[in-house]
Amino acid sequence: MKIFTEEEVMSYTMADAIRDTRAILERQNADKIVNRKQVLMAAGHNNMIMNFPALDIEKGLSATKIMSIRDGVSKAYSILTDIESGEVVANVAASYLTELRTGAMSGIATNLLARRDAKVLGVIGTGRMAVQQVFGVLSVRDIEKIVLFNRHLEKAEVFKDKITALGANCEIEIVDDVNVLTEQSDIINTATPAREAVFDDAYVKDGAHINGIGAFMPSTKELNVDTIGRAKYSIADYKKGVETSAGGFIEAVKQEKFEFDRLIQLNEALETQFDRDDADITVFKSVGASLYDMAVAIGAYEKLK
Amino acid sequence: MKIFTEEEVMSYTMADAIRDTRAILERQNADKIVNRKQVLMAAGHNNMIMNFPALDIEKGLSATKIMSIRDGVSKAYSILTDIESGEVVANVAASYLTELRTGAMSGIATNLLARRDAKVLGVIGTGRMAVQQVFGVLSVRDIEKIVLFNRHLEKAEVFKDKITALGANCEIEIVDDVNVLTEQSDIINTATPAREAVFDDAYVKDGAHINGIGAFMPSTKELNVDTIGRAKYSIADYKKGVETSAGGFIEAVKQEKFEFDRLIQLNEALETQFDRDDADITVFKSVGASLYDMAVAIGAYEKLK
């Protein structure tokens, strides 16, 4: 059994993650993937443990991500088991990988839906999960300018330094009015636990694509319901998860601005011909799912072993 | 992170397992245990991976047993995670522990239900899981004679040698007619994948107690429906599991010989006053559940670390 630390898995890159995530979606389309709903176990007031079980028939491995959340701080490990031998072959640190896989999904969805000539990326919410989401977009579009918004300006400053250190070498602007961000962004990334929309639909630029990764509970509603309603295409990383957990979408359905059968799951999206006009709005919504954790855990294991 | 092999966990005994299983049932009654349904993932024709997730709030640990079954051969490991730190603290080999915990459950249930003066133990089906089930009963009753039945006599011989080597020092008889076993047994253990009853209700001795651990699918029905129907008390290790997976019980309900609300779950049984007459029949049915795997995985970890 091999053990890979957070430090070791850092050599697994966004390019690796996008390639492996795309490949697992193709295997999902070929019925080679078993993806199971997360198992949530509450451990007292502010703690919980979640299990994310999945299985890759082609790779001959199962992966169960075990994630702990304590007072809002999460840590995760993916346990890989060889299906043939029944042996546990690896324990792969999965905190960085969880951020990376979310960024990789946003990259894949952005590549499918965003305008080819998208130049400005707006980032609303600059916490830990937002970092790799930036690099997911940078991997698929020639971004010239990143605009950052956080209600706490100093957090946006820290974020700017972090993404610069990690290699984001375009112009980076910090704004204190979210509308200034919205009106100029070709792509908007949101990663907040907000209980109401973090941008105003009236300011959304024609042709914008939005990646929402913050909301993962019915009470969290960062995406604007009007924007959800008028989007030409909406991709979900995991349809069942979005239907039960994505507050903005649930609210949009409640207000009869959206129907869940319009959602396209990311694996289906790989096989979909999108017919978007330059002015159409598009949305990608991620709540997370076991198979994405498996994609990067197996990918990192294969790269490092 | 500590790794404990099958060989190392052998020093964890039946006495340890009965003590720790009883303790976890008491914590379950105090709402300190989260027990989640198994997650089943099919990997092609004859392979599957199952996850058994549970959490022990008092011990501050979660345990996920990852079990593989390939062409009928199973292997298992329990992954322990510290709830406070989020770290994976141990990978505990769990094949022997799975046999042991099943035996421990049978021991606890037998102690609650079987006659105090039970002397003869009948064993129907002498596969791997049956071994520790014998020692579970030997731990709680003064058994003078063990009677073995297997359709293949040579398998019963091998089993006799095995339990003798492991310390069963009473008389051991092998019979080629199951009725000869049934009519003299105060306690009957069954551990078969049989699709019909493995004993005839007419031969069941007055006052007998039966432990059924073989059937874990609706199609497996080793327990006699008439015996299930007339048992004064029936204990289940996991009620939901028995209702959906124990073929004999499902069949007995279908034939209107039993109702599921008569089932007493093992943790409830610890707090139940049983009022059995000497001639009453009683039954324990086990299909397995995550919390039992957790009890012995944490127990072995605490003993060995």
Q: Are residues B295 and B258 in the same domain?
A: no
Q: Are residues B130 and B163 in the same domain?
A: yes
Evaluate if residue A217 carries a pLDDT over 90.
Answer: no
Q: Do B68 and A86 touch (CB under 8 A)?
A: yes
CA nearest to B79 within chain A:
A79
Average pLDDT, stretch B100-110?
Answer: 97
- 3 state SS of A289: coil
B53 near A CB under 8 A? yes
Write the CA distances from B80 to B12, B240, B298, integer angstroms. 17, 25, 8
Flag whether B181 is in a domain. Answer: yes
Q: Do B36 and A36 touch (CB under 8 A)?
A: no
Evaluate if residue B249 carries a pLDDT over 90.
Answer: yes
Flag whether B210 is in a domain. Answer: yes
Q: Do the strands B282-285 and B263-265 form a parallel or antiparallel pair, or are they unpaired?
A: unpaired
Average pLDDT, stretch A5-27?
Answer: 98
Evaluate if residue A216 carries a pLDDT over 90.
Answer: no
Q: What is the pLDDT of residue B6?
A: 98
Q: Do B53 and A51 touch (CB under 8 A)?
A: yes
Q: Are residues B136 and B181 in the same domain?
A: yes
Q: Are residues B84 and B203 in the same domain?
A: no
Question: A209, A222 in Cβ contact below 8 A?
Answer: no
Question: In this predicted model, what pLDDT tens digit does every residue of A21-57 receive, in sequence order?
Answer: 999 999 999 999 999 999 999 998 789 999 999 999 9
Q: Are residues B206 and B121 in the same domain?
A: yes
Q: Are residues A32 and A75 in the same domain?
A: yes
Q: Are residues B229 and B123 in the same domain?
A: yes
Question: In this predicted model, what pLDDT tens digit does every residue of B177-194 receive, in sequence order?
Answer: 999 999 999 999 999 999
Residues of A in contact with B298 (CB under 8 A): none
Q: Are residues A130 and A212 in the same domain?
A: yes
Tokens of B12: 């964890």
Structural domain boundaries enclosing B134: 115-289
Residues of B in contact with A2 (CB under 8 A): none
The confidence band for B72, taking pLDDT boundaries of 50, 70 and 90, is confident
Flag whether B213 is in a domain. Answer: yes
Q: Are residues A70 and A152 in the same domain?
A: no
Residues of A in contact with B60 (CB under 8 A): 43
Q: Are residues B257 and B298 in the same domain?
A: no
Q: Do A81 and B66 touch (CB under 8 A)?
A: yes
CA distance A43 to chain B (A): 6
| Least confident range of A149-158, A287-296, B38-47 | B38-47
Q: What is the pLDDT of residue B217?
A: 82
Evaluate if residue B216 carries a pLDDT over 80.
Answer: no
Question: In this predicted model, what pLDDT tens digit does every residue of A97-113 receive, in sequence order?
Answer: 999 999 999 999 999 99
Residues of A in contact with B79 (CB under 8 A): 64, 66, 79, 88, 91
Question: Structurally, how many domains does chain B consist of?
Answer: 2
Residues of B in contact with A74 (CB under 8 A): 86
Question: B82, B61 in Cβ contact below 8 A?
Answer: yes
Tokens of B139: 């731990």
- Residue A145 maps to which CATH number? 3.40.50.720
CA distance A78 to chain B (A): 10
Q: Do B43 and A87 touch (CB under 8 A)?
A: no
- The residues that bridge with B3 in the sheet, in sequence order, are B91
Residues of A in contact with B75 (CB under 8 A): 85-87
Residues of A in contact with B1 (CB under 8 A): 3, 91
Q: Do B64 and A64 touch (CB under 8 A)?
A: yes
Average pLDDT, stretch B40-46?
Answer: 88
Evaluate if residue B71 carries a pLDDT over 90.
Answer: no
DSSP B37-50: --EEEE-SSSEEEE
Q: Are residues A114 and A25 in the same domain?
A: no
CA distance B86 to chain A (A): 5
Q: Pick the residue with more confidence: A218 or A119?
A: A119
Of B34, B44, B81, the CB nearest to A57: B44
Flag whether B109 is in a domain. Answer: no
Flag whether B110 is in a domain. Answer: no
Residue showing tokens 């500590």: B2
Q: What is the pLDDT of residue B243?
A: 96
Residues of A in contact with B30 (CB under 8 A): none
ipTM topping 0.95: no
Q: Do B41 and A51 touch (CB under 8 A)?
A: no
- What is the enclosing helix (H) or strand (E) of A161? helix A153-165
Q: Are residues A139 and A48 in the same domain?
A: no
Tokens of A132: 């790799």
Q: What is the pLDDT of residue A214?
A: 87
Residues 61-100 of B with CB under 8 A from A: 62, 64, 66-68, 70, 74-77, 79, 81, 83-88, 91
Flag whether B104 is in a domain. Answer: no
Residues of B in contact with A70 (CB under 8 A): 83-84, 86
The confidence band for B45, taking pLDDT boundaries of 50, 70 and 90, is confident
Question: Which of B36, B37, B55 best tests the A interface by mutation, with the highest count of A CBs <10 A?
Answer: B55
Least Cα distance to B213 among B253, B258, B246 occurs for B246
Rg of chain B over CA atoms, in angstroms? 18
Q: What is the pLDDT of residue B123?
A: 98
Least Cα distance to B218 among B243, B236, B200, B201 occurs for B243
- Residue B54 maps to which CATH number? 3.30.1780.10
DSSP 3-state percent helix, strand, coil across chain B (nearest 5): 35, 25, 35
Q: Do A86 and B64 touch (CB under 8 A)?
A: no
A44 near B CB under 8 A? yes
Q: Above pLDDT 70, what percent of chain A?
A: 100
Alpha helices in chain B (DSSP H): 6-9, 14-29, 95-113, 128-138, 153-165, 178-182, 225-230, 239-245, 247-254, 266-269, 290-304
Average pLDDT, stretch A71-100?
Answer: 96
